[in-house]
Amino acid sequence: MSERQGSGATAGNNKMPGGQDSSKKNVPADVPADDFDIDMGAPETEKAAVAIQSQFRKFQKKKTDDKS
């Protein structure tokens, strides 16, 4: 099973136990920033990347249109 079950903001659970907000980075200093387990060649990953890029481009366009 390679799909993740709902976690974080998508499941509406963005609070960590103890009342800490999960948006704060509580990563130990000995964990490298580029240590991740994502299959960059997977079709799901590519779809997600395209969706994120599309939304970001829309955001940028809206931002520039508002300034004009």
pLDDT tens-digit readout, 15-50: 555 555 555 566 666 766 677 788 999 999 999 999
CA distance 68 to 60: 13
**Is residue 51 in some structural domain?**
yes
**Is residue 67 in some structural domain?**
yes
What is residue 28's predicted lDDT score, i.e. its pLDDT? 65
Residue pair 33/40 in contact (Cβ under 8 Å)? The answer is no
**Is residue 65 in some structural domain?**
yes
**Is residue 21 in some structural domain?**
no
What is residue 56's predicted lDDT score, i.e. its pLDDT? 97
* Coil, strand or helix at 15: strand
CA distance 18 to 30: 23
- The parent domain of residue 57 ranges over 41-68
**Which of the pair, 68 or 37, is modelled with greater confidence?**
37
CA distance 59 to 53: 10
**Is residue 14 in some structural domain?**
no
What is residue 32's predicted lDDT score, i.e. its pLDDT? 67
What is residue 54's predicted lDDT score, i.e. its pLDDT? 97
Q: What is the pTM of this model?
A: 0.45
